[in-house]
Amino acid sequence: MADPLLVVRDLRTHFFTRTGVVKAVDGASFSVNRGEVLGIVGESGSGKSIAGFSIMGLVDPPGRVVDGAMTFDGIDLRALPDEEMRGLRGRRIAMVFQDPMMTLNPVLRIDTQMIEALTAHIRIGKADARARCRDALGMVGIPAPEERLSAYPHQFSGGMRQRVAIAIALLHEPDLIIADEPTTALDVTIQAQILYEVQNLVHTRDMAMLWITHDLSVVAGLADRIAVMYAGRVVETGPTEEIVERPLHPYTQGLIGSVPSRSKRGSKLRQIPGMAPSPLNLPEGCAFRPRCAYATERCGQSPADRELLPGRWGRCHHPLHLAAAGRPELAKP
Amino acid sequence: MSETLGNDPALAGLAERTPDARRWRLRAETPLVRVARNFAESRVAVFGLVLLVAIIVAAVLAPYISPQNPYDLSEIRIEAGELPPGAVERADPPRQRFDIPIDPAAPGVQQLALNGAAPFTVVTAEVLVSDPERIEVRLTGEPAGAFAEVGRLRIDGVPRGAELTVGEKHSFRSFWEVPGADLAAFAVVREGGFEGTFELEVDLRGAHGEAIMTHWLGTDSQGRDMYSAILYGLRISLSVGVLSCLFAMVIGMSLGLVAAYFGGRVETVIMRIVDLQLSFPAILVALMLLAILGQGVDKVIIALVTVQWAYYARTVRGSALVERSKEYIEAATCLALSHRRIVFRHLLPNCLPPMIVVVTLQTAHAISLEATLSFLGVGLPQTEPSLGLLISNGFEYMMSGKYWISIFPGVALLITIVAINLVGDQLRDVLNPRMRRDG
Amino acid sequence: MTAPDTAASAAAALMELSGISKRFTRRLDAAAKIAQLLGARLREETVHAVDDVSLAIAEGEVVGLVGESGCGKSTLGRVVAGIHQASAGTVTYRGRDVAALEGRERMATALAIQMIFQDPMSSLNPRLRVAEIIGEAVRVHRLVPRPDLDDYVADLMRRVGLDPDYRKRYPHQFSGGQRQRIGIARALAVRPEFLVCDEAVAALDVSIQAQVLNLFMELRQDFNLTYLFISHDLGVVEHLSDRVLIMYLGRIVEEAPTEALFGDPNHPYTQALLAEVPRLEPGRRIFKPITGEIPSPINPPPGCHFHPRCPHAMERCRVERPALRPTGPGRFSACHLNDEARG
C-alpha cells in the first residue's frame, strides 16, 4: 500500500485562555489515503473541527498546536513557513465549512470570487479561468453553470451555495479536502444530492477527503474509514463497516446505540449516561471513564493508541468484541 | 447540534465552530462581568467612565464641596465681581481710629498709650514740640511689624493753616491722606506757630482685608465664584438631562414595545408618529414648545421628553422585534401568560442592553440641547442657572477680555458630554451583538 | 379534503384539525404603495405555509410530522399549540372548537396544550432564573398553593433529570441538553395533556438526544401524554411515533401507521425521503438523489407541489391537486398514481 497522503500523529492543540488551558485536541492520530474518505465523528466539543483547522494551519491565538506531527505528502506541515503554508492552502488542501457563507462573499458575484480564488495561486487568462470555474460548477451538479456564474450568492438556495463552496474548493484540484459538517444545515434530500456528488468526485479524481461530522449515519454510507473522537482524542479508527458492525470502544458503541433508527421502535434507546467532560478539566486517564459501563481501576491510566485488530486502532483498556474475534489475550486487563 | 458541550456550561461557547479560533471565548463569567471586562478593554473609555463618575459625584455633592453657594445672596459680594481666575477675594481692610491730643504749649516728648484693635493691640504716639512752628508725631505700635500691613492713614483735625509734612490733603474734604510708606512719622507745620491745643483724628486702614477665598476660575459680574457656579450648574444640567431621558425612555420604551409586540395597525400608527417626530429638527420643536409653555425646569423637561421619546421608541422596537421572534416569547404565549406580563417581564428586560447605550448617548444630547435652549434664553430661569445659562451670561463679557465667565462653563459642558460619549460609545461596542468581536 | 376523511376521526380524537390553512402576507408599506402607483410591479406576497390540512390525533397517541425546511410543519405545530391563529379552518380539542372557548375553559385548553421548542438557547428567557422559568406560569395561574411552589418546582426538576440545587441558576449556565430539560419541565409544570415537540432534539448531540428521547418516552407513560412530534429526522420519528404524517410545501402528502409507512411508502416523495435518509448500516451506499430544489413556498408549483421533482409525474400532476385518499387501513396518500393503479 502506498504511503498515506496525510498522516497526523498525536496532534495536540491547546487554547490558553483566561480560565485555563483548554485541551481541545489532546492526542489525535489518523491518516488518509488518496481516493479515500475518512470520516471524523464526534460530538460538539470533541475537538474534531479544531483538528481540521490545525491541519489547515488556521488555529489562531490563544490556540496553538503544541505537539504532534502532521505530514502531508511527505511535507512536515508544522515546520512549514507561513508563506508556503498559504501556497498549500486552497491549492493542495482545501476546506469546506458548514456555513457556505463563510467562504462566499455576499456582495460579490460568483465568477468574481471563483476567478479570484484561481488567480491567487496560478497565472491564468480570464477566459480560461472562467471556463475552469464553469467546469467546476458543473462538476458539483449545478445546472446551467454558465448562467449561474454571474449570479450573487443570495440568489442560490442553501444547498446550491454549499455546492458552490465545494466547487471553489475543487478549483485547484486539491489532493485533500477537509469538509467540516458541510451538510449539517441542509435538508435530507439536498444532503443526499451533495453526498452523491462528493462520493463521485472522490472516486473519480483520486482525492483524499476528511469528512468531519457529528452524524455517524452520514459517514456510515460515505466514508471508507472512520475516526471517532471523544474529548480531544481519537478513541477508535478503522474501516467503516467494521466499526459500525462491531465497535471496539465503549464510546463508539454508545454513540451507535444512541441513533434512534438502530433500536427497536418504542423501546428505550441505549443512551450514554452523563455528559461529555469539559476540555478545561479532563478526567485523569481515559476521558470516557466516568460514563463508561466497563471502566475499571486500570482506566485511571491513560490507554495508549494501539492496534487492537488488524487495521483497527483504539484507545481502550477493555475493548469490546475482541473475545469473539478470537484475540482474547488483548481483552484481558 | 450547536451548544452541547458537556457538564461545564461555561464552555458552551466552545461548540461554536468558526474558522477563527479567536472566537473561542470561554463563558465562565456572568454577563455582567463579561460586559465589564470588555468595557475595560478600552483605556479611553475607562478614563471617560472615571471622569463621568467624578463629574456626577461633584454635581451631587455640590452643596458640600463648593466654596460658595452661588444662589445665596448673603454670600455674594458685588465688590468681588469679575475677578480673574486665581484672584483672592478679600474682606474690607480693618480700620482703627484714635485721637492724639496735642498741646503746643507743652514742648517736649509726650507719650500717649492708645488701646486699639487689629492690626495693633497698642499704638504709642510720641509727640515732640521742638519748634513753635513744627510739631513732630511718631507712631509706634505693637506688634512691632504691624505698620507694614497698614495701607494708609487718614488724619483729620489738622488746624486751619497747618500742613502735614507727608501725604496730601483731600481735594475738598478736611482730612489728609498719608500713603503706607510714610505713616510712621510725620510733622504738623504751621507758619506763625499754633494757637491752642488741638486733636488729630487718626484713621488707620489695613492694606489688605482678610482673604475670604481664592477664585481659581474667577468670578462673574455678580461676584459669584465660577467654580461653585459651575458645580451647581452641572447639578442642574445633569438632573434636567437625566430626568428628561428617564421620562422619555419610559414613554418611548412602552410605545416601542407595544408597537413591536402587537404589530399591525398599532405599530403603524406609533411608528408613523415616531417618523414624523424624528423628521423635525429637535431644537426647533423644543424652541416652539418653550415659546408656548414659558420658562421653567418642568417645561424644559417636557420639551426635551417631547423631542426625545421617539429615539427610544424606535430603538426598542428594533430590538423587541428580534426578541419577539425568539421561542421564549412563544413559550410564554403558550403558557397563557397575559400580554402585559409578556411585554414587561419577558420582552422588556431582554431589550434593555441596547437601551442602556441610547440612554447614555441621549442624556448627553439632552444636556447639550438644554444648554442650547438656555443659551438662547428660552430654557431655565436665571434663578436656576444651568451650564448653558452660565455660558450665556458670560458671553457679553467675552469681548472685554473677561473670558473666564463664559469659557469655563463651556469647558465643563464639553468635558461632561465627551465623558458621557466615551462611555456610551464603548457600551455600544460591548453591548451591540453585531459589533461584538467575540461571539 | 374534508375532516371525516382522516384516519383517527373516531370519537376518541383528542385534537382535530379540519381544513387548517395558515397564510402569511407581507403587506406593502406606504413607500411600496406609492411605487406601485408610479408603475412599479410590486405585489403582496402571500406564503401558504399550511394549506388546507386536516388531521386527528387520538388520546395517548404519538404522531410524527416529517418534512423538510419550509414545508410548514413548524407553523402547523404552532397553530396546534395556539401560538398562531389559523387563517382558515378549525382546531377542535376534546370535541370543542378552541377558537370559540371563553374564560376559564379557554385558559384550561391553552394550558393543556404545550410546546417544546427546538433551540435550547432561545427558548428560555435568559434573564430569568430556572425556578422562575419553570414556576412562573404555575404561580401566575395559581395552579399550586404558594408555599408548595418551591417543592413543586424541585419535583419537576428531579423528574426531568435536573438537580434542584441548580434552580437559582440562569439558563446560560447550563448545557444544551440541560436547557432542553428545563424547557420540558416548564411545559410539564402546567400539567399539559398534549405536547407539541418542534424539532425538540434537533439541536442536541447524538448521545444527549438519546437521553432526551428516552425522557419523552418515560414522560408519555407517567403523565399519559399525547404528542405531536415534529422533526426532519426520520430516524427519530420512526423510533417514537405510532403514526407518521409527511408534509411537503404546506400539504400533507402521506399519512400512515409508522411500520406501514417505513415498510411500504406510497407517495413518491416519501419513497425518496426514505431512500435518502442516511442510515447507520454497514456497507457503502450509493446515494441516488432526487433531483431539484425544494420550490419556494411563495410561489409553489401548480397541481401536485412535488411534480417538478417526481420521477413519475404525469400531465395530470401539473394541473390537478391530488386529494388525500385512503390507500389501505389507516393509510392515506395524496398522489394521482394511486388512481391510475386503481383505474
Cβ contact (<8 Å) for A45 and B25? no
Do residues A265 and A287 share a domain? yes
Place of cell 390507500: C327
The Cα B278–Cα B290 span in angstroms is: 18
Q: Is residue A191 part of a domain?
A: yes
The Cα C308–Cα B226 span in angstroms is: 83
How many beta carbons lie within 10 A of that of residue B81, not counting itself? 16
Q: Which of C280, C284, C296, C310 to mutate to test the interface with A (most CBs of A within 10 A)?
A: C280
Task: List the domain range (segments joined by +) for residue C108.
Answer: 3-342
> Any CB–CB contact under 8 A between A62 and chain B?
yes
The DSSP 8-state label assigned to residue A303 in this structure reads P
Amino acid letter for position C209: Q
The Cα C155–Cα C178 span in angstroms is: 16
Amino acid letter for position B5: L
Which has the closest alpha carbon to A77: A196, A176, A192, A223?
A176
Place of cell 506541515: A77
Q: What is the pLDDT of residue B20?
A: 34
The Cα A294–Cα A322 span in angstroms is: 14
Do residues A242 and A284 share a domain? yes
Last residue of a domain, which of A171, A198, A219?
A: A171
pLDDT in tens, C121-133: 889 998 899 999 9
Do residues A182 and A160 share a domain? no
The Cα B429–Cα B354 span in angstroms is: 10
Cβ contact (<8 Å) for A98 and B8? no
- pLDDT of residue C226 exceeding 90: yes
How many beta carbons lie within 10 A of that of residue C100, not counting itself? 10
Q: What is the pLDDT of residue B257?
A: 93
Which candidate from B5, B9, B336 shows the least CB-CB separation from C107? B336
pLDDT in tens, C239-267: 899 999 999 989 999 999 999 999 899 99
Contact B130, B107 (CB under 8 A): yes
- pLDDT of residue C135 exceeding 90: yes
Residues 6+ apart with CB under 8 A from B284: none
Place of cell 495561486: A121
Which candidate from C118, C124, C204 shows the least CB-CB separation from B4? C204
- pLDDT of residue C298 exceeding 90: no
Question: In the predicted model, what is the mean pLDDT of residues C27-53?
Answer: 78
Alpha carbon distance, N-terminus to C-terminus of chain B = 17
Q: Tell me whether residue C50 is exposed, middle or buried, using C-beta atoms within 10 angstroms of its C-beta: 0 to 12, 13 to 18, 19 or more.
A: buried
> Any CB–CB contact under 8 A between A231 and chain C?
no
The Cα A310–Cα A242 span in angstroms is: 11
> Any CB–CB contact under 8 A between C77 and chain B?
no
Which has the closest alpha carbon to A212: A77, A42, A14?
A42
The DSSP 8-state label assigned to residue B343 in this structure reads I
Residues 6+ apart with CB under 8 A from B180: B150, B151, B152, B207
Q: Is residue A97 part of a domain?
A: no
Which candidate from C82, C125, C187 shows the least CB-CB separation from B328? C125
Q: What is the pLDDT of residue B116?
A: 60
Give C180's strand partners.
none
More confident residue, A100 or C91: C91
Total tally of structural domains belonging to chain A: 2
Strands A93-96 and B163-164: unpaired
Do residues A140 and A217 share a domain? no
Q: What is the pLDDT of residue A43?
A: 86
Q: What is the pLDDT of residue C138?
A: 94
Give C331's strand partners.
C328
The Cα B386–Cα A182 span in angstroms is: 63
Return the CA Rg of chain A: 21
State the ipTM, two decimals: 0.86
Question: In the predicted model, what is the mean pLDDT of residues C213-240?
Answer: 91
Phi, psi at A65, each rounded to 5°: -80, 115
Strands A208-213 and A176-180: parallel
Contact A34, A201 (CB under 8 A): no
Residues 6+ apart with CB under 8 A from A51: A8, A11, A13, A25, A28, A40, A212, A229
Alpha carbon distance, N-terminus to C-terminus of chain C = 20
Task: List the domain range (segments joined by +) for residue A264.
Answer: 6-92+172-331
Q: Is residue A1 part of a domain?
A: no
> Any CB–CB contact under 8 A between C120 and chain B?
yes
> Any CB–CB contact under 8 A between B382 and chain C?
no
Q: Is residue A99 part of a domain?
A: no
Last residue of a domain, which of A144, A171, A198?
A: A171
- pLDDT of residue C80 exceeding 70: yes
Do residues A128 and A261 share a domain? no
Last residue of a domain, which of A139, A171, A203?
A: A171
pLDDT in tens, B386-420: 898 899 888 888 888 889 999 999 999 999 999 99
Residues of chain B with pLDDT under 50: 1-28, 434-439
pLDDT in tens, A9-23: 999 999 888 778 888
Contact A72, A5 (CB under 8 A): yes
Alpha carbon distance, N-terminus to C-terminus of chain A = 33
Over the range B376-385, which residues count as b (16 or more CB within 10 Å of their CB) and which as e? eebbbeeebb
> Any CB–CB contact under 8 A between B27 and chain C?
yes
Categorize the per-residue pLDDT at A236 as very low, low, confident or very high, splitting at 50, 70 and 90: very high
CATH of domain B22-74+223-431: 1.10.3720.10
Q: Is residue A177 part of a domain?
A: yes
Cβ contact (<8 Å) for A199 and C286? yes
Q: What is the pLDDT of residue C269?
A: 92
Do residues A150 and A181 share a domain? no
The Cα C331–Cα A40 span in angstroms is: 40
Domain boundaries, chain B: 22-74+223-431, 95-209
Taking CA–CA distances from B348, the nearest residue in chain C reads: C127
Q: Is residue A34 part of a domain?
A: yes
pLDDT in tens, B302-350: 999 999 999 999 999 999 999 988 999 999 999 999 999 999 999 998 8
Contact B217, B405 (CB under 8 A): no
Do residues A230 and A302 share a domain? yes
CATH number for domain B95-209, candidates 3.40.720, 2.60.210, 3.30.420, 2.170.240:
2.60.210
Do residues A166 and A200 share a domain? no
Q: Is residue A28 part of a domain?
A: yes
Phi, psi at C224, each rounded to 5°: 55, 55
pLDDT in tens, A20-76: 888 889 889 999 998 889 999 988 888 888 999 899 888 888 888 998 889 998 888
Categorize the per-residue pLDDT at C57 as very low, low, confident or very high, splitting at 50, 70 and 90: very high
pLDDT in tens, A168-183: 888 888 889 999 888 8
Do residues A192 and A234 share a domain? yes
| Percentage, residues of chain C above pLDDT 90 | 47
Q: In chain A, which residues have their Cβ closer than 8 Å to the Cβ of C217?
A: 266, 268
Cβ contact (<8 Å) for B28 and A19? yes
Q: Give 3-state DSSP helix, strand, coil % of chain A, rounded to 5.
A: 35, 25, 40
Across chain C, what does the average pLDDT equal? Answer: 86
CATH number of the domain bearing residue A321: 3.40.50.300
Q: Which of A93, A275, A278, A288 to mutate to test the interface with B (most CBs of B within 10 A)?
A: A278
C-alpha distances out from residue C197 to B175, C76, C157, C200, Å: 108, 11, 19, 5
Total tally of structural domains belonging to chain C: 1
The DSSP 8-state label assigned to residue C295 in this structure reads P
pLDDT in tens, A290-331: 888 888 888 888 888 888 888 888 898 888 866 544 444 444
Do residues A152 and A33 share a domain? no
Which candidate from B2, B6, B21 shows the least CB-CB separation from A278? B6
Range list of H helices, chain C: 30-37, 73-80, 103-112, 130-140, 149-159, 176-189, 206-223, 234-240, 258-263, 268-276, 315-319, 336-342
Q: What is the pLDDT of residue A77?
A: 87
The Cα B144–Cα C42 span in angstroms is: 102
The DSSP 8-state label assigned to residue C170 in this structure reads -
CATH number of the domain bearing residue C270: 3.40.50.300
Cβ contact (<8 Å) for B7 and A277? yes
Helical pair B226-262 and B348-375, crossing angle rounded to 10 deg: 140
Which has the closest alpha carbon to B147: B209, B210, B211, B207?
B207
Categorize the per-residue pLDDT at C152 as very low, low, confident or very high, splitting at 50, 70 and 90: very high
Q: Is residue A283 part of a domain?
A: yes
Q: What is the pLDDT of residue A40?
A: 94
Amino acid letter for position A313: W
Give A314's strand partners.
A236, A306
Q: What is the pLDDT of residue B273?
A: 92
